[in-house]
Chains A and B, each alone.
Chain A
Amino acid sequence: MSLLEVEELRTGYGALPVLQGISFSVEEGQTAVMFGLNGAGKTTTVNALAGLLPIWSGDVRLDGKSLKGLDAPKIVAAGIGLSPEGRRVFPALSVLTNLRLGAWTRKSAGRKQADDTIARVFEYFPRLEERKDQLAGTMSGGEQQMLAIGRAIMSRPRILMIDEASLGLSPKLAQTVFQVVSQINDDGTTVVIVEQNVGVLPYADQALIMEKGTITYDGSGADLEKSGDLRKTYLGDASDLH
């Protein structure tokens, strides 16, 4: 059984359907990367998995248990963490408070455990420790991305989802973020990344391509690198123009 199973998932906004019944699964311990053009439905997918959008039909299972009908707080508690599109750090709160809020659902685990997790986040992103008292809104885009990822792992999720990990980052910083994410993955967290930057491919065990609310490729990252499908998706071929 896969850790994450998505089956015939349909959802959208108001009456407008976006996901037309998508299915895929992610094995425990792997890194899955989802590619796709703007508007393909990647954010819609991860937001639905995180409970920010209602599931119209189909099912989402974590470790065999259905998440259908659960709201966002329950899904976080069940073990899915999301670093949302646009980072969305709490701008007028300090870096440290942002991180502490990430552990909101783990209140019963106590402050000691939260402190341990914060220490781990600071190991991944030493820059955050240097700036722990700074207001999150005054940090650079790259630092905010680090904070958003750090905040998402504060809930100790079994699956970490990151929407647009490298958007707006310099190629060098993007590589750094990918490396840290791969380290988080090595430490035992399953990872799902939404990404437009093909530089992430070397880190991908599994690759997905999404087009117009459907999944058009689901296979290994290495195969995708060889096949040229990604090239077709992003650079388009002549038939796409009509």
Chain B
Amino acid sequence: MTLAATTLAAGAAPLALDVQLKIGQPFVVGLLQGSVYGLIGLGLVLLYKSNRIFNFAQAEFGTVAGISAYLGLNGKLFHIPWHMPYAVACIIGVAIGTLTAVLTERLVVRPLFDRPKVILVVGTVGVLLLLIALESLVFPEGKSLPAFNNPKQGVFRSLTDPAARLGFAHYNLQWEQILTLVTLVVLALATVAFFRYSRNGTAILAVSQEPVAAQTVGISVSRISLITWTLAGFLGSVAGILVLAGSAVVSPGVVTGTTLVGGITAAVLGGVTSLPGAFVGGLLVGLLQAYAGTFLTQFPGSESVAVGVVLLLVLLVRPQGLLGREA
């Protein structure tokens, strides 16, 4: 009796741990990846609301930011290497990524403003390809951006991971992940609040709904367009740096390759015009991918397939998106 109980307990313990790991780890990983999708989706929805187009260059602003940050951290000018402080390099990266979006607005979007939307969309694809080409020119491939708490270069050097791990369902969260998650959620909430409560946020909605009427009340459509692209560029740049810091190898087109499809799916799940919807959509996509990758290991590519199936289901059953209202 006692023996049986012990055996059972001994047999059950590792199983329980394994199940918890299988639930806990994908949860964290999925949430993290998902909030990046959410942030990219947020930028897409933002521009969709104001220009009624999908901006295919959205995630690439993030690559530009990541490469700029890397070059700030470990760059060379006339063969003299420099090392900016980590935080400074990141700020410069975000600034350059945002500037790229501003230039896109001025040089591509503005001149094509009154043309059919399809042409504008193709314009953003052109920007994406051009950016990838430029990145290839200035950036030697295969380098990676150090983590925030990298002991040599990070901005939070003292947060050494092994000693300072936080447990969650037997999965050890790293500081890197916590910081990323907090930043992403704060940014998402700030964006939603901007639309709900700020004057410019309301003006963006007004321009997207009735551009002519927006002019008749005295809103400058071109100023609003610039504000929108600045904001979208900022969101894309931050998302890019968060994706690249401490994990992926920085290479031309990398953020587009890893997040654009997820971001578009997030936006569509959210109904294309809903900001909270896009963020929640992003979380769902991330979680779905992570759990599919954990539990459906016998089917290669199950992560993408699961996302595709859910995307189709939502389009068929709830085309207005999960939250289903413009906000």
Contacts and interface: CB of A to CB of B under 8 A. Distances in A.
B219 A101 contact: yes
Interface string A98-126: 00111011010000000000000000000
B137 interface: no
Interface string A145-163: 0001001101100000000
B218 A155 contact: yes
Q: On chain B, which size bracket covers the interface?
A: 10 to 19
Interface string A13-46: 0000000000000000000000000000000000
Nearest to B223: A73
Nearest to B219: A104
Given A97-B202, A101-B203, A104-B203, A90 B218 contact: no
Contacts of B199: 107
B31 interface: no
A155 B214 CA distance: 13
A91 B209 contact: yes
A84 B206 CA distance: 15
A71 interface: yes
B218 A105 contact: yes
B215 A72 contact: yes
A154 B218 CA distance: 11
B205 interface: yes
Given A97-B202, A101-B202, A90 B216 contact: no
A128 interface: no
A82 interface: yes
Contacts, number: 68
Contact of A104 (B209, B212, B218, B326): B218
Of B202, B215, B216, B326, most buried by chain A (CB within 10 Å of CB) is B216
A212 to B, nearest CB: 24
Given A101-B217, A105-B217, 15 more contacts: A52-B212, A52-B216, A71-B220, A76-B216, A88-B212, A91-B209, A92-B326, A93-B209, A100-B202, A101-B202, A101-B214, A104-B218, A105-B218, A107-B199, A154-B217
A74 to B, nearest CB: 8
Contacts of A84: 212-213, 216
Contacts of A154: 217
A155 B219 CA distance: 12
A93 B213 contact: no
A154 B326 CA distance: 25
Q: On chain A, which size bracket covers the interface?
A: 20 to 34
A97 B215 CA distance: 16
Interface in B312-327: 326
Contacts of A107: 199
Contacts of B203: 101, 104
Nearest to A78: B218
Chain B binding surface, main DSSP class: helix
A152 B216 contact: yes
Contact of A91 (B210, B212, B215, B217): B210
Interface in B200-232: 202-203, 205-206, 209-210, 212-220
Contacts of A102: 217
A73 B212 contact: no
Contacts of B209: 90-93
Interface string B72-101: 000000000000000000000000000000
Return the 3 tightest CB-CB contacts between A and B, nearest first: A76-B218, A105-B218, A88-B213
Contacts of B326: 92
B202 A72 contact: no
Nearest to A75: B218
B215 A73 contact: yes
Contacts of B216: 50, 52, 72, 76, 81-84, 88, 152
A73 B213 contact: no
B313 to A, nearest CB: 26
A93 B199 CA distance: 13
A76 B217 contact: yes
B206 A93 contact: yes
A91 B273 CA distance: 14
20 contacts: A50-B215, A51-B215, A52-B215, A72-B218, A73-B218, A73-B220, A76-B216, A77-B218, A81-B216, A84-B212, A88-B212, A90-B209, A91-B209, A93-B206, A101-B202, A101-B206, A102-B217, A104-B219, A105-B218, A151-B213
A222 B132 CA distance: 70
A29 to B, nearest CB: 23
B218 to A, nearest CB: 4
A84 B215 CA distance: 10
A89 B202 contact: no
Contact of A88 (B205, B210, B220): B210
Nearest to B209: A90
Contacts of B205: 90, 92-93
Contacts of B213: 84, 88-90, 148, 151
